[in-house]
Amino acid sequence: MAAHGTPTPLTAPASGPLTGEAHVPGDKSISHRSLILGALAVGETRITGLLEGQDVLDTATAMAAFGAEVVRHGEGRWSIHGVGTGGFAEPEDVIDCGNSGTGVRLVMGAMATTPIAATFTGDASLRARPMGRVTEPLALFGAEARGRAGGRLPLTLTGAALPVPVDYATPVASAQVKSAVLLAGLNAPGATVVTERVATRDHTERMLAGFGAEVTVEDTAAGHRIALIGRPELRPQAIAVPRDPSSAAFPVCAALIVPGSEIVVPNIGLNPTRAGLYTTLQDMGADLTFENPREEGGEPVADLRARYSPAMRGITVPPERAASMIDEYPILAVVAANAEGATHMPGTHELRVKESDRIDAMARGLRACGARVDETEDSFTVHGAGPGGLPGGATVAARLDHRIAMSFLIAGMAARAPVTVDDAGPIATSFPDFRPLMERLGARFEAATEDA
């Protein structure tokens, strides 16, 4: 499953019961941040459990290009010798962030208050995504961006020589925007403040505090407010990355819809700003149990047991929950297609600017599989066919989007006829072992033959 190159179609026929333990990869959001903050600390940060998906590898390469010493010691074990706040060197070449919106937006933030220039690009998916949401607040610090129309990549960012701190209210619910502003604030004198109407994933705030920065978080009338005092000396850390709840969602949802399944996903991160899917699934009647809840490395974790759940019913997902499950709507839509009744997902406009337009990708793909789906600009509704009721029998476009590819392979596992995704390559961006992991649980996939 190469992330780039020739498309690799993959077919999922109906699966027998899934059983066993699913050791999903390290958290993607936390992996990016470990590398970036490690690069900005003075001394050596050691990381275990790092996700070695292409998105994170591209961020590791970027940190080396800005002057940090990045070393891989073994599976998931990395060290990064940081250059200190404001210590980034000017990269000699273009920074290619591949498929990763998180990578490019956070790295732009991290360099925006250092007087160097860097040119950023990415794959066709990333080059189509909006960057103005990040370059606009970075301009308030004094950084200058020149990109294609609409602020699209490739884009050159020149960091501010005399940065000023910023007080910014995010116009969209985006942890990437919040994080870019906070990372830029690291090298601005005084307090940089970000206020968000809805709290998004808070790994940046947690990790900044862990590295020794002064961060205060409070809920105010204007929203969730994070203040950071600039120019701290970041102290290197030992970081154990928890397993990714967004990756866990795929085997968990597969177990819920494939008859006879029971799996355990050990050690998954259950930070409340990330765990909205699991609340939603329980609201629908999913049989989930959280075993051994504990805290590791400042993040709540537990072992999650999931059993086949034929009695799931459609619900309206509260829009205020969207930020805490934003990456999980594609796989939720697959579960919804296997539940009784309609699942309505309002307040999901942000899905239209992910690795693909995920509302459109899911609506078209599920319709091709025989489901009824309604959509508006800001919502979509999947009309469930009941357990095992999805006809399937379609080839669906993955659109350079790992989560679309994985969602439709899981749809095929519970459908009446096999489902093919036209390119499983993008799965390597976040979940390189997806196929062997699912096969160990009992799934069966078939690579399409050359002339298929």
Chain contacts with ligand S3P (rule: CB under 6 A) = 29, 102, 174-176, 179, 201, 326-327, 350
Distance between CA atoms of residues 78 and 92, nearest Å:
23
Provide the residue count of the chain: 452
| Strand bridging mode 77-83 / 372-376 | unpaired
Query: Among 27, 123, 327, 433, which one carries the catalytic annotation?
Result: 327
Please, what is the minimum distance in Å from the beta carbon of residue 176 to ligand S3P?
Answer: 3
Q: Give dist(CA 337, CA 355) in Å, integer.
A: 22
In the bound state with ligand S3P, the residue whose beta carbon lies nearer, of 196 and 312, is 196
CB of 17 to ligand S3P, least distance (A): 30
Spatial neighbors of 376 by CB under 8 A, at least 6 apart, are none
Residue whose CB is less far from ligand S3P, 178 or 435: 178
Q: What angle do CA 179, 248, 403 make, to 5 degrees?
A: 70
Least distance from C-beta 170 to ligand S3P, angstroms? 9
Nearer to ligand S3P, 15 or 176 (CB): 176
433 classed as catalytic: no
Determine the Cα–Cα distance for residues 15 and 19; give it in Å rounded to an integer: 11
**What are the b/e assignments for 213-238, b being 16+ CB within 10 Å?**
bebeeeeeeeebbbbbbbbbebebbe
Residue placing its CB nearer to ligand S3P in the complex, 102 or 135: 102
Task: Give the position of tokens 């800005």.
Answer: 66
DSSP string, 309-375: -TT-B--BPPGGGGGGGGGGHHHHHHHHHTSBSEEEEES-GGGGGSSS-HHHHHHHHHHHTT-EEEE
Give min distance, CB of 429 to ligand S3P, in A. Answer: 10
Beta strand 395-396 with 372-376: parallel, antiparallel or unpaired? unpaired
**CB–CB of 28/249 below 8 Å?**
no
User: Smaller CB distance to ligand S3P: residue 179 or 343?
Assistant: 179
Least distance to ligand S3P from the beta carbon of 312, Å? Answer: 25
Catalytic positions, please?
A: 327
